[in-house]
Chain A
Amino acid sequence: MKNQSYKQVKRMTPAMRIIHWVNALCMIGAVATGLYIGHPYYATFIADGAVDKYVMAWNRYGHFIIAIIFDVTSILIAYLYFFSRFEKPYKKLIPNAQNLREFGAVVVNLITLNRVKKFDSAHVDSFNSVYFTLFHLLLVWMLFTGLQLYVHSFTAGTSSIGGWWPAFLHIATDWTIWASGGTIMDVRLSHHASMWWILAWILFHVYYQVWRTIFWKEGDIGIVISGTKFVKEDALS
C-alpha cells in the first residue's frame, strides 16, 4: 500500500466559526430559558419578598438578549449566503442538475454506509447546504414568532424607545398569527414546537459530522474549530 498523502483545505473562515459557536451557545441558552418561560420548571427557593428576586424576569431578559444576538447573526449569515468572499452557499442551493446530482450522491453515501462515495468532499456539498439552510429557516421562524409574542408585552403600543418599535414589530410579525393558525396562542404553540424541530436538527447535525469524521477519515469535525479539513491528494487531482 502506497503512502497516502493528504492536503489541507480551508472550509470555514474565522467569522463563520465564531458565528457557529455563538449560535450553538445561544441555542443552549435559548432552550434553557425558553423552557422556563413556557413552564417554570424550578422554584425560587429564596425567602425574600417578590421585589427582591426576578427569576422569571431574568429568564425572559436572557431569552430576549439571546434573541437579539440571533437576530444579528441571522443578518450576517443571510449576507454571507450571497456575498461571502469565501464560498457563497446560495450557489449550492440552486436546484440545477449538478447540485441535484451532488445532493443525491451524498444521500446515497449516507444510506450505503459510505460504501458508495461519488462526490468531491473537499468543498461544502449540496446536501449539507440544504440542511444548514433548513436550520436558518427554522431560526427565522423562531425570530418572527418570538418577536410576535414579545410585542404583546408593549401595552398600548408604547415602549421605552418610542411607539415606532412595537409598530414596526407588529408590521413585521403579525402575519405569523395567521400563518400559525389564527390566534396568539397558536403562535406560542408553534414557537414551542419549533424548538423541538431545532433540537432534532441539532441531533442529526452533530451525529452526521461525527459520522463523516469517523468514516471518511478526512477530519471533518475539525472544520468548525480549525477551519480546515484534509482530503487525499489523489482525490483532488
Chain B
Amino acid sequence: MTPTTDEATKRFTWKSASVDTNRGDAYYEALYASCEARLQAVRTQKAVNRLDLMEVLDDHGIDRRDFMKWASATTAALMLPSMFTPLVAEAAMLMNRAPVIWLELQDCAGNSEALLRSDGPKIDELVLDLISLEFHETLQAASGHQAEKQLEEAIEHFKGRYLLFVEGSIPMGMGGQYGTIGASGETFHDHLVRVAKDAAAIVAVGSCATFGGVAAASPNPTGAVGVMEVVKGKPIINIPACPANPANMVGVVLHYLMTGQVPELDNLLRPKFAFGYRIHDNCERRAHFDAGEFVEEWGDTGAQNNFCLYKMGCKGPMTYNNCSIVRYNEAVNWPIGVGRGCIGCSEPDFWDKYAFERPVADANIKAPGGGVEKSVDEFGLGMLTAAGIGIAVHAAASALAGKKEEAGANV
C-alpha cells in the first residue's frame, strides 16, 4: 500500500517526541478551574444508570482509602499535578454520566474481555463498569431488529454527546462484504460511518481498530484497516495494544469527562500520557540489556536470572506503551515480567514486523512485493556471495585473457 499524504504525515514522530509534564502553575490553575466547572455541569446531568461507585467498590471489598490511592496514581498517569486528585476521584464517580456506544467489528473481542475482566475486577475495571454502555453488540441481550432499534434510540438520545468505542478492524475488501451486521446486512464500514457521525469523539481500542492489527497482517485477505483510515473529520483517540489496557481506557474517559477534550495525542493519535514512553526505558530487565546479559533459550540460566529478552525477540526497544509502568491487572504483571519478550502489539503492522520470537535481524521478512521470506542477514550474505562470484569470474577471466599494459622494456 503506498502511503497517502495524510498517512505520510502520520509517520512523522517529532510531535510525539516531547511530553511536557510541567506546564507551569498558571496553566494548571486555569485547567483546574475549567475542569471544576465542567464537572459541576456534568453532575447536574441525569445519571444514565443508578450505579454508585462507592457501593460497587464496597461490594468488592475496596475501601475509600484504596480508591483514593488509585485516584492519585491515575492523576499521575494522566500527567496532572497532585492537586487534581479530588477532581479525578469525582470524575470517576460521575462515570455513569458518560454515554458510551461500543461497536464490535472484525476482531476477537479481547478488548471487551479486558473491559469486563469479570474474574476479580480491580478499580479500573469497576470504574469502567460504571460508564453507561448504551449499546454493546457483544454484551447486550437484544438482537436483530430490536438491537437495531436500540442503537438508533441511543444515537438519537445522546446525539453529539456519546463516546464511540470501536473494537476491531474494518474489512474493506469485496465491497466490505467480509463483515456485515444486523438484520439489514449493513457492512461494518457503513455501520461505523453511520454511528460515528453523531459521536462526540471516537475511541479506537485495541490494535485491530487502531491499525488493522492481526486481521490486517499480510496478506490481509479482507483488506482490513483501522478506524482512522475510514472515519474523517472527528476527534479519534487510538488506544492500541492487544488487548488495550483498561487503565488507558479509563484514563481517556476520565480525561474527557473532566476536561471535555481529547488528551494530547502523538503522531499515531495515541494519548501521550500512555504512549509517550518506550517500553525498553522502563523495563526492569534493562540493566541486563546494557550489560549484554541475554536469555539465549527458554528456561536457561539467563531466564532463571531474569536476563534481558532481546535475543528471544523482545521488541521493547521499538515499542511505545506504558505497560512497563502500569502493567496489567492492577499492576500484577506484564509480558516481559512473566519472562517472554514484548511483541510490539501497540505499533502499526505489529504482526508482520514485530511479533517474532527472535531479534528482527534474524526474522524472516518478505521481500518487497512478497515472495521468499529471508532474514536480512541471509539476504545480505546472498548478495555478498553473488558479488564475490562475479568478481572471481572477472578475476579468472582477466588472468587468462586480460591484457597487461606494457610494463617497460626491462622486464
Interaction A to B: yes
Residue numbers of A with Cβ under 8 A of B are 1-4, 35, 38-40, 43-44, 50-57, 59, 110, 113-115, 117, 151-158, 163, 166-167, 170-171, 174-175, 177-178, 182-186, 188-189, 192-193, 195-197, 199-200, 203-204, 207, 211, 214-218
Contacts of B379 in A (CB 8 A): 193, 196
Contacts of B397 in A (CB 8 A): 113
User: Which one of B18, B311, B347 has the highest number of Cβ atoms from chain A below 10 Å of its Cβ?
Assistant: B18
Cross-chain contact B398 with A40 (CB below 8 angstroms): no
CA A117 to CA B404, docked complex, whole Å: 11
A39 with B359, Cβ < 8 A, contacts A56-B290, A56-B291, A152-B278 known: yes
Contacts of B395 in A (CB 8 A): 207, 211
Cross-chain contact B398 with A215 (CB below 8 angstroms): yes
Contacts of A35 in B (CB 8 A): 361
Cross-chain contact B13 with A188 (CB below 8 angstroms): no
Contacts of A157 in B (CB 8 A): 17-19
CA A158 to CA B19, docked complex, whole Å: 9
Residue of A with least CB distance to B398? A113
Cross-chain contact B14 with A192 (CB below 8 angstroms): no
Cross-chain contact A4 with B11 (CB below 8 angstroms): no
* CB proximity to A under 8 Å, residues B372-411: 376-377, 379-381, 383-384, 387-388, 391, 394-395, 397-398, 401-410
Cross-chain contact B290 with A183 (CB below 8 angstroms): no
Contacts of B384 in A (CB 8 A): 196, 199-200, 203
Cross-chain contact B17 with A170 (CB below 8 angstroms): yes
Cross-chain contact A39 with B289 (CB below 8 angstroms): no
- Give 9 A-B contacts (CB < 8 Å), ordered by A residue: A56-B291, A115-B403, A167-B18, A183-B347, A185-B344, A188-B318, A207-B394, A215-B404, A216-B405
CA A199 to CA B292, docked complex, whole Å: 26
Contacts of B402 in A (CB 8 A): 113-115, 215
Residue of A with least CB distance to B386? A200
Contacts of B409 in A (CB 8 A): 1-4
Residue of B with least CB distance to A38? B361
Residue of A with least CB distance to B401? A113
Partner of A182, one of B17, B18, B348, B383: B348
Q: How large is the interface on B (under 10, 10 to 19, 20 to 34, 35 or more residues)?
A: 35 or more
Cross-chain contact B12 with A177 (CB below 8 angstroms): yes
CA A12 to CA B360, docked complex, whole Å: 41
A152 with B318, Cβ < 8 A, contacts A51-B287, A200-B387 known: yes
Interchain nearest-CB distance for B252 vs A (Å): 20
Contacts of B11 in A (CB 8 A): 174, 177-178, 182
Partner of B383, one of A40, A113, A171, A197: A197
Contacts of B137 in A (CB 8 A): none
Judge if B38 is at the interface, Cβ distance under 8 Å: no
CA A199 to CA B382, docked complex, whole Å: 12
- List the 3 shortest-distance A-B pairs measured between CB atoms, nearest first: A196-B380, A55-B292, A170-B14
CA A4 to CA B405, docked complex, whole Å: 11
Interchain nearest-CB distance for B295 vs A (Å): 11
Cross-chain contact A200 with B404 (CB below 8 angstroms): no
Contacts of B102 in A (CB 8 A): none
Partner of B291, one of A1, A4, A50, A155: A50
Cross-chain contact B310 with A40 (CB below 8 angstroms): yes
Interchain nearest-CB distance for A59 vs B (Å): 8
